Structure 1
C-alpha cells in the first residue's frame, strides 16, 4: 500500500512538473484603475467584479504592488515600457536623461538604455522560447517597438459605450484567437497580453451599466451632472477633497483641467458621477475577463495558465482634490495585482513590495524561460509560492512630468514620505504618513467639517501629515535618507531642494 502511494505521488508530481513546464500566460491590463475601486481592496466599494473576485479567491492578492512612476504627463507611457522591458523608470528609451559626456562609450550609453532593448522585451523573449504570442490593447502611449514583436496583434483604442467601440472589442479579439487555436489544435504554449482601453476617460460606459451606478456620460462643460436621490451615484471616498491643499506643480495638465466630464470641477455631483462612470467601465472589463476565463476552462487550458490582473497605474478621481494619475498618493502609486495559476495557493494575500517592472522576470521564472540580460526587475515567484513575503524592503516613486524636479516618494515598513519641489521652487512640501494608522493619507483638510459632512468620515486626530511633528523627526530623517539612496540607485537625474546637488543639474522648468 505504501509503495502504491509512493508511486502515485511520484506520478502525480511528474504530471504537475510536466504541466507547469510549459504553462500558458494571460496578462490582463486595465488602463487607469485605482486598487481601491475594487472590493478586493475596499470592501465598501459598490463596484461589482465577480470574475476578479473569483480570481482573487483562487489566487494571490498583492497589497503592495506599484508602478515606479513617470517623467512625463502621460504616466501610462513609461509604465507600459517598464512592463514590457523590466527596466526602471530612468533607464527607458524615452526616459534616460542623465547627462552623459559627448565622448561616452556605447557601453555607457547602453547601461542607461540598451539600443537593442526591444529584442529583449516580453514578446521577443517568449517568441524565442517557443511561445505563441498575442496582443490586444489600446493604441498609443506605449512601447511600439516591443508591441511589434507579438506574432498576433489587434491594437485599437476602444473607449466607447457599445460592444464594438468598448471593452468587448478587446475581449472578442482574445476569444477569436482562442477559437483559432482550438480549430487548428495548436499545442504551443501561449502568452496573451489582454489590455483594455478603459476605464481611462472618456469613460463612456454602456447605458445599462451607467444606470446601475446612477451615472450619465457628461461631454458638455455647460451641463454639469446633478445629484439624483432616486438613482444615487457612488459615495465620495473618505479622502475626497474639493481641492488639493497646494498647487499640483503641473500647470495646464490635461487630466486635471481638460478631461471630459470633469474639467476643473471637483463638486460632489461631478465627482460622484465620474466615479459611477469609472465603475460602469470597470464592471464591463470584468465581464470581458469572465468571457475569456470561461473559454479557457471550456478548452481545458485554464488549469495550466498563469493569470495576472493589474493596471498600468492608479487614478485619483476626487481623492485629495485631484483627478488624474500624476501624483504619488496610494490611490495612484499603487495598482491592483492578482495572480492565479499552477502551484499558487488560493485565497492568499501578500505584501509583495513589487513594481510592475518585475512582471517580465517573474513570467520568465514561472515559465522556465531565461530572464533577459537587460532586465532590472526582480522575480516575485518566491512570494507567489509562499517562500517570501516581500522582494524588497522599500519602494521609490517619481512624478517629474510637470515642473522640475517634481514629486518623489519612498515607502518603508508602515511609513511613507512624499516630497514636492515644483513651480520654480515656490512649492516645496514634505508629507510623512504612517500608513498603518492613516492608510488613506488624510490631511488636516480632511478634518474640516464641510469635508466630513460630504464624506461621512471623521478622521482620528493622528490621521494627518506628520512631517512637522517633532515626535517623528528621527523617522523623517530616516525616510529622507532612504529616498536619497533610491534616487542615487535609480539614476534619478534631479535632486530636491534639501538634498546635496551631487553634480547634477537641478532643472526648474
Structure 2
C-alpha cells in the first residue's frame, strides 16, 4: 500500500459551466485554477444521477443507481446495505473520513467510514415522489424569495470546514494513508450571500443564454419539471438576483478549496495527496426556465471535476467523458488498495485524454418527471432514452446547449447507442418498470397523501 492520501471536496448543485476552469467569463474561482495548474480538468464529467441522494449513494457505493435502488430522495424504505468505499478502504488499512452532508442509501453510522464528521442525514426524506400522476410542490414562491444578503449564510458549511481542518491537522500522526470527502452545502439554494460576495458580482446579474421559449424547454420532461417545481414564479428580476448570488456562493466554495490546499501544504501533505474537486450534480440556473437539478440536460447532469496529485499529470485537459464512479475507482488506485471487481468505473488515472469510443452512463428516476431517463455519452454524442417521452440525441461538439434534437435525423447513431446502453449498462425498459414498482411501494409506505411516513420497511429486489 502506498503513502498517498485522497481529499475530495464536493459541493452541492454546482453547474458545470460556472467556474473559470470551464471558461466562464467572470466567475472568480482562482483556487480551481490553482488546482488545475497542478492537475487535470475533466471537461465532460457526469454524476450518476442529477439528484442528491441517488448521486451521492451511487458514488459512495461505487454502484449505479438502479443497482442500489436509490431512485429518489425518499428514504421511507430501506435500501440494501452495500459496503461503502469508506468501509472497503477502512478494511484495507486506510483511514476513511466523511465530513458533512451524507444523503445516502443508509444512515451515516451504517456506512462504515472510519470517522463521520458532522454527518447530515435526511431520515424519511422527500414525499413528493409520485411520477404519474405528477406530484406538485407548493413552495415555489418561498424558493424564489430565498436570495440575497444575510449575516451568516455559510454557518453550517463553516462547521464542516472546521471539522475537516481539524482532521488535516491530526492526520499527520495516523501512520497510514487516509481519504477524506468534505461535503459542502453551497452553492445549493437558498442563494444567500454576504454583502461582500453580493458586491463582488455587481453588474453581473445576468440572464441565462436560453429561456423557456427555447426548443429544449418544450420537451415533456422539461415541462413536467417546471410544473412540478412551479418555476413560473421566477420573474426576470428574481432570475437575475439568484444568478448573481449563486456566483458569489461559487466563489465562497472556491475559497474553501484554497484553505484546504493551504492546510495540506502547511502540514507537509500536499505533494502526496490526490485532491479532487467536484459536485453531486449541476444546476440549471434558469436555463430553459428550469431551476435546480432533476434534468438530464448537461447543466444538470454534468459536473465540474478537477483532480491533481500523485498519478495525475499537470496542466492537462481531458475531453473523454468520465463518471464520478471513475473518481470512486481513482481513490482506490491512489491509495493502492484493491477494488471489488463488481463495482463500476475505471480509475481516472487510466482514462485516455481523448478517447472517442469511451462511453459513460447516467440515469434519473426521481421526482418531477413522468418517467425514467437513461443517458449514454460517447465522444460528441449524447443520447437520452426517455421512458415516457420522446428520446433525444445531441451532438455536443456542434450544439453544447442541446438545442437541436437529432434523434429522428440520425437513426443509425440512436440504434448504435441504444444497443450499447442495453449491452453495457442496463435494460432501460426493465429499469423503468422496476423503479416505478419501488416508488409505488414508497408511496404506500408514505400514505396516500405522499407526505406522512408510516414506517420504514425492508426493501425487496
- How high is the TM-score relative to the length of structure 2? 0.78
Q: Which residue of 1 aligns with 2:42?
A: 62
> Is residue 2:16 matched to residue 1:35?
yes
Structure 2 residues not aligned, in runs of 5+: 73-77, 122-145, 441-461
Q: Which residue of 2 aligns with 1:104?
A: none
RMSD over aligned CA atoms reads 3.4
Q: Which residue of 2 aligns with 1:436?
A: 397
Q: Is the 8 A contact 1:495 1:506 kept in 2?
A: no
Write the mapping of 1:37-436 to structure 2, written as runs, cut at 5 A.
37-44=18-25, 46-69=26-49, 75-95=51-71, 115=80, 117-118=82-83, 121-140=84-103, 143-144=106-107, 148-155=111-118, 162=152, 165-181=155-171, 185-213=173-201, 231-241=202-212, 244-248=217-221, 251=224, 256-257=229-230, 263-383=231-351, 389-390=354-355, 393-401=358-366, 402-422=368-388, 428-436=389-397
Distance in 1 between residues matched to 2:435 and 2:28, nearest whole Å: 48
- Cα pair distance change 1:235/1:155, threshold 3 Å: same
Distance in 1 between residues matched to 2:435 and 2:243, nearest whole Å: 41
Say how many residue pairs are matched: 404
- Cα pair distance change 1:255/1:57, threshold 3 Å: farther
Distance in 1 between residues matched to 2:166 and 2:47, nearest whole Å: 31
Distance in 2 between residues matched to 1:241 and 1:251, nearest whole Å: 13
Deviates more, 1:200-209 or 1:263-272: 263-272
Q: Is the 8 A contact 1:494 1:506 kept in 2?
A: no
| Structure 1 position 40, deviation (Å) | 1.0
- The 3-state SS of whatever aligns with 1:195 is strand
- How high is the TM-score relative to the length of structure 1? 0.71
Larger Cα-atom Rg? 1
> Is residue 2:412 matched to residue 1:477?
yes
Structure ranking higher on relative contact order (CA contacts 8 Å, 6+ apart): 2
- The 3-state SS of whatever aligns with 1:201 is coil
Distance in 2 between residues matched to 1:391 and 1:377, nearest whole Å: 17
Structure 1 residues not aligned, in runs of 5+: 1-19, 97-112, 214-230, 258-262, 423-427, 443-463
- Cα pair distance change 1:245/1:324, threshold 3 Å: same
| Structure 1 position 297, deviation (Å) | 0.3
Q: Is the 8 A contact 1:76 1:313 kept in 2?
A: yes
Q: Is the 8 A contact 1:354 1:392 kept in 2?
A: no
